Chain A
Amino acid sequence: MTSKPLIELRNVYRSFEVDGQHLPVLQDINLEIQPNEILCLVGESGCGKTTTGRIIAGLLPQSSGEVLVNGQPLSAYSRQQQAELRRSLQIVHQDPFASLNPAHTIGQILSYPLKRHRMVKGRAELRRRIWELLTLVDLTPPGDIVTKYPHQLSGGQRQRVSIARALTVNPKLIVADEAVSMVDVSIRIGLLKMLHRLREQLGLAIIFITHDLALAKYFAWEGRIAVMYLGRIVEIGPTPEVIAHPAHPYTRALLAAVPEADPEVTRHKQHLALRSEEIPRLSEIPQGCSFHPRCPFFLPGICDAKTPELLQPPNFIQLARCTPLNDQGTLIPYEPAQYR
């Protein structure tokens, strides 16, 4: 983690106007992604993972805050550089049935970016490159695939085509938005292994978005995990640390709910009960720490008053957004009777 970050988000805020109401979908997002790094964004559905991914890929402007690419905002670059930098950030969508145009064959889908950006010279080279890309994503024999239409492929195969399409422009970063959540479990591992291999082979950075902490743990073991809750990053740090010593109560709850391979372990795992199962709506985000109505370590007078900062708590390596933890280094279970 020495080189200049590939991309950096500073105090990014994003809201959407729905029915005349401004919904704050992302708040205080601070992230930096180094070249060749793996970063996992984890959180319940609706917490803003996709929105973050789209802002990173340059597909959605932030409402306020800064997005720096190679240390500078995009606007500081020339038009041509902007286009090149944008192109170096690609996204792989969640739904393999919506991310490929049904009207084109796989060969055509891969040929458009190659031709448009003059990545190849001449027809023979174009065809060779398409074959190379398909081989790279383990779609073999390529001759069988090039003339197929997306609907003739399985979900896993389509996802590989999506990845190959992103690779046509030699990106530096790929945002994989729930890239495996819609394919069969039996195929997932293959896809994840392939992503790992591509990262090593091509020097890619990967932002892996998932709602499944078990998947994040597996995929990002050498990287970092950022846990999101209601539009904020509540904990971020090296994956082994976050998994072994979760800091934020929300991460602890998530981890406690992850089933282990060994049923004995799962059965005796200590369940961390949330005080409420209900996720607040974006239109009424709770005061103070937005997690406090559900938090088992709720500290009245503090958690519902002060919005916590993302800081490094004592004795932890990762950063967390929890006032009691940051102040005292420990958490005390909430006892309602005490205060009644």
Chain B
Amino acid sequence: MGLDAVASPTGLVIGFVLGLIPLLVGWRYRQWKWGVIGWLVCLFSSFGCGLIGGLPVAVLATSLVISYAFATREDPYTSQASLDEVTFDETWQEYLLRQMAALGHGVRTSARMLARNKVGFIGFAGVMFFVLMSAFGPLFIEYEGEANFSRRQPGASSLFQPPSAEFPLGLDWQGRSVLSHIVYGGRTLILTSIQAGLIATVIAVALGSLAALLGGFVDQAISFLGNFVLTIPQFPLLLVLASLISFNSSLGLALLFAALNWPALMRAVRAQALSLRKRDYVEAAVALDLGLGHVIMREVFPNMVSYIAVNFIFSVRSAMYALVGLVVLGIVPLSEPDWGVMIFMGRQQGALFNPAAASMLLSPIIAIAVFQLSLVLFARSLEEIFNPRLRSGV
């Protein structure tokens, strides 16, 4: 994934240009407020994540502007008219606008759902905090990679220092600012965990629903494979693999975690799909000959999305734990900056027995714990956002 989130001037230019889309659309439909907000959001996200961050945001912002412009417009399809009073002909521009308005409406509903669940919103804010910190922190805080012996306090036996006004999180064993490592050290870890969670979820959902819906031999084969992987003791395997393969790409690591992680979720998805499969509406879809693809994607999947989203979050969590665990055990090659490496090195350098080093050791631990907690809380919101009943309800 090319998500090398770094704030860059190029991003700013991209954001400026992309932001013009919602701005101009807002001008066209007299939705100034939302046009300007859209422009700012585009600017911001492109600045942080480049084109990859900016483009989807530009689309969403534009759809939001259009949805506000369309709020008062009457679509014959949803009008009170009777059959012989209406025509449904429309140009493709009208069609496009309608689709965009529907998308924008969805965005608004999701935002409302997100704001409604307070606990989930706290989780969302926490996750956003870490994302923003990783993306924009480097603008304000310089990374300290080199040892800094000049900071040694007179009479001190090590370079460790507790928090001070100059160094809010103290100094590490080489006299470097802990804060700079916290800011820079989360990105790879978070991205790798998300990749691992994403891959595991895709595998699990695909195999789980196929197993449930096709049944028979396919089901047996997939279940066997899943059970087989489940019985492998994962951590020892990782230890062994680590000595054979060098984990130098984060994608490789993500794939490995995903390969070990999918069976649990696959079994859950399979069970869920098995119960959904028996529903009358699935039988109706079969009678209407809508095809296996339709049954999986349209009948079964939408009723599992909230469940899958929550499980995606949990597999991101477990990938992160495993990743940190491997680093702390010193199994994957250490490359700074990284929260896990901080824990590992701190322990090696005697931070456990040095009160001045407490902050250096605790900072990454707290960062990881808070991020994980935010994920779990956010999962609650996801559950609601993807629940069609709650979405359409009052």
Contact = CB atoms under 8 A, between A and B. Distances in A.
Contacts of A123: 88, 90, 95
Interface in A131-160: 131-132, 135, 140-144, 146-147, 149, 151-152
Given A103-B302, A143-B77, A165 B288 contact: yes
A51 to B, nearest CB: 13
A135 B294 CA distance: 26
A143 B283 contact: no
B302 A141 contact: no
Interface string A83-99: 10011011101110011
Interface in A98-118: 98-104, 107, 112-113, 116-117
A94 B279 CA distance: 12
Contacts of B291: 116
Contact of A104 (B280, B286, B302): B302
B11 to A, nearest CB: 37
Contact of A142 (B83, B294, B303): B83
Nearest to A105: B392
B277 to A, nearest CB: 12
Given A146-B77, A149-B388, A152-B392, A99 B284 contact: yes
A149 B109 CA distance: 15
Nearest to B82: A141
In this complex, the interface size class of chain A, counting residues with CB under 8 Å from chain B, is 35 or more
Contacts of B284: 91, 93, 99, 162, 165-166
B306 to A, nearest CB: 10
A31 interface: no
Nearest to B281: A101
Contacts of A112: 285, 288, 290, 294, 298
A100 B281 CA distance: 5
Contact of A132 (B83, B89, B95, B298): B83
Interface string B74-92: 0011111111001111100
Contact of B82 (A58, A116, A140): A140
A131 B294 contact: no
Nearest to A165: B284
A236 interface: no
B289 interface: yes
A147 B294 CA distance: 20
A141 B81 contact: yes
If over half of B's interface residues share one DSSP class (helix, strand or loop), that class is named, otherwise mixed; here it is helix
Contacts of B83: 128, 131-132, 135, 142
A83 B289 contact: yes
A59 B283 contact: yes
Contact of A117 (B80, B82, B88, B289): B289
Nearest to B388: A103
A144 B290 contact: no
B78 A146 contact: yes
Given A101-B303, A124-B90, A141-B81, A116 B294 contact: yes
A196 interface: no
A95 B95 CA distance: 36
Contacts of A124: 87-90
A251 interface: no
A104 B302 CA distance: 9
A102 B81 contact: no
A214 interface: no
A42 B80 CA distance: 41
A144 B87 contact: no
Contacts of B290: 112-113, 116
B244 to A, nearest CB: 45
A127 B77 CA distance: 7
A151 to B, nearest CB: 6
Contact of A101 (B287, B289, B299): B299
A319 interface: no
Interface in B256-291: 279-281, 283-291
Given A140-B82, A165-B284, A127 B303 contact: no
A168 interface: yes
A146 B294 CA distance: 20
B389 interface: yes
Contacts of A83: 289
A57 B283 CA distance: 11
B281 A99 contact: yes
Q: Report which residue of B77, B80, B285, B303 has the largest number of chain A beta carbons within 10 angstroms of its beta carbon.
A: B77
B275 to A, nearest CB: 12
A280 to B, nearest CB: 27
Q: Report which residue of B95, B288, B298, B299 has the largest number of chain A beta carbons within 10 angstroms of its beta carbon.
A: B288
A314 B280 CA distance: 43
B88 to A, nearest CB: 4
Interface string A246-277: 00000000000000000000000000000000
Nearest to A142: B83
B240 to A, nearest CB: 44
A205 to B, nearest CB: 15
A58 B296 CA distance: 21
Nearest to B95: A123
B215 to A, nearest CB: 14
Contacts of B303: 101-103
A169 interface: yes
Interface of B: 76-83, 86-90, 95, 279-281, 283-291, 294, 298-299, 302-303, 388-389, 392-393
10 contacts: A58-B287, A98-B281, A99-B280, A102-B389, A103-B302, A117-B289, A128-B88, A131-B77, A131-B86, A140-B82
Given A91-B284, A151-B389, 8 more contacts: A91-B283, A101-B303, A112-B298, A113-B288, A116-B294, A131-B83, A141-B80, A149-B389
Q: Would you list the 4 A-B pairs with minimal beta carbon distance, nearest first? A: A103-B302, A124-B88, A99-B280, A93-B280
